[in-house]
Structure 1
Amino acid sequence: MEKYYTVDSSNGLVPFCKVLLGSYTPDQPEQAIFLNQIHPDGLSKHGYNYLYNPGLSMEESSGESSSLMISLIFELVRRSYFPEKPSRYQSLFACQQLSEVKQFRKLLADERNDDGIRSASIYEVITGETVHFGDMNLLNSECPILELYRRAHLYWSGIPLNDGEEPFWEVLIPLPVLIGQRIPE
């Protein structure tokens, strides 16, 4: 069993709970059939928000739209070339070290302009499953589309961006997963 660390940005974790895949059924029958075909086991909360959430849409100039596009491109590359890797739509995100998850929490709070995230709890995540390490610096669409495609391949290959910045490794842990204890701060 390996131990990693995650930020409880939605304030929904408790010590020693199990995080499961959720079952979501779109109102449109065609979408419901399609979602069940591509992810019959369900979606994580991230998967719900980035793939299915009917409240989000692709708008031309929003940062949210860019995040949705990046997630979809990375998922399509994974399905096509790295099917053995865990889907970002069915995983929990974590870091290897406590210092890294604290840094991630600060980045997330700054990105969302949400002071509540700055004090979000950190929990251990315990798994015996095979995880994936991807450089979060690759999840950036401020580049030509061919470069984004290349970055998706690097991400799933576990290769860092090498743009002069240190890699920031996120750990994708397939669900279900056991949450450990809350880290006191």
Structure 2
Amino acid sequence: MDLYTVDRGSRLSTGATCSLVEHEDIRPAEIAEMIRELCPGGVSQHGDKYLVSALGQEKMVTDADTEILFEWVRRAKYPNKPSRYQSLFAVDSLGAADAFKREFQVIEAPVYRVASEHAFRADMRLLDPRMSAAVKSWFANLYWQGLPHPAAPAFWEWLVPCPVVIGERVI
């Protein structure tokens, strides 16, 4: 299946591979071990941003607290779904890529084609960090079931498990 990823950080290039990274410099050792247990094999750029460093300058889709809640729900109830911390994110059309670029104010960001037979589709709108813990828990279950937000138009994202080879730049 052909998908499209918006390169908000301008880090991708045609033919590059988005791989998992294992950090050797995390201290204390107990935190490093927890990350290794949570993400065997390492983290993607997304996992690095939301789990390891929790940094980001651009407008973010969600926050670190919501991400970890969604991850714990996935691990407890949907372990066969790919971890957000170990995935690249994509959309299924150039129109959706354009909508993402406009919503997150990254109009100039390049868009690359990626291919995957193992991607999982979920509604990105469910990652709303403004909700209560109870609503976030409900939304996490909807997310991992592949169901849409109950009160907002869906914005479908595809989780593509790493490693992922980046295809041609299309925008």
Give the TM-score, by structure 2 length. 0.91
Give 1 or 2 for the bigger CA radius of gyration. 1
Supply the distance in 1 between the matched residues of 2:54 and 2:125 (Cα, whole angstroms): 28
Aligned to 1:162: 150
* Alignment map for 1:106-185 (pairs within 5 Å): 106-109=102-105, 117-128=106-117, 130-163=118-151, 165-184=152-171
Name the count of aligned residue pairs. 167
| Amino acid paired to 2:125 | N
Equivalent position SS for 1:118: coil
Could you tell me the percent identity over the aligned residues?
34
Shift of 1:16: 1.8
* Alignment map for 1:30-109 (pairs within 5 Å): 30-53=30-53, 67-109=63-105
Consecutive aligned runs of 4 or more in structure 1 exceeding 6 Å deviation: none
Check whether the contact 2:48–2:54 (CA below 8 A) recurs between aligned residues: no
Aligned to 1:4: 3
Aligned to 1:60: none
Aligned to 1:13: 12
**How far does the alpha carbon of each residue in 1:64-107 deviate from its partner, in whole angstroms, 9 at most, with x for none?**
7x711110110010000000000000000000011001111111
Equivalent position SS for 1:77: helix
Give the TM-score, by structure 1 length. 0.84
Equivalent position SS for 1:159: coil
Gaps of at least 5 residues in structure 2 are none
